[in-house]
Amino acid sequence: MRISKQRGFIKVEQADKFKPILKSRLSEQRYFHSLCVADEAKRLALRYGGDPEQAYLAGLLHDITKNAPAEEHLKIFAEFGIMLNDVEKKAKKLWHAMSGAEYVRHILRIEDEAVIDAIRYHTTAKAGMSHLAKLLYLADFTSADRDYDDVDVIRRLVDESLEQAFLYALQYSIKDLVENGRAVHHDTVEAYNEAVLKN
Stated length of the chain: 199
C-alpha closest to that of 170 among 117, 132, 127: 127
C-alpha closest to that of 61 among 120, 134, 4, 143: 120
| Neighbouring C-beta atoms of residue 63, cutoff 10 Å | 23
pTM for this one? 0.92
**What one-letter code names the amino acid at 101?**
A
Rounded CA-CA distance 19/119 in Å is: 17
Residue 9's DSSP bridge partners are: 6
Is residue 138 within 8 Å of 78, Cβ to Cβ? no
What domains does the chain contain, in order, with CATH numbers? 12-198 (1.10.3210.10)
Phi-psi region of 35 (alpha: psi -120 to 50; beta: other; left: phi over 0): alpha
Q: Half-sphere exposure of 152 toward its Cβ, with a 13 Å CA cutoff?
A: 1
90-142 pLDDT tens trace: 999 999 999 999 999 999 999 899 999 999 999 999 999 999 999 999 999 99
26-76 pLDDT tens trace: 999 999 999 999 999 999 999 999 999 999 999 999 999 999 999 999 999
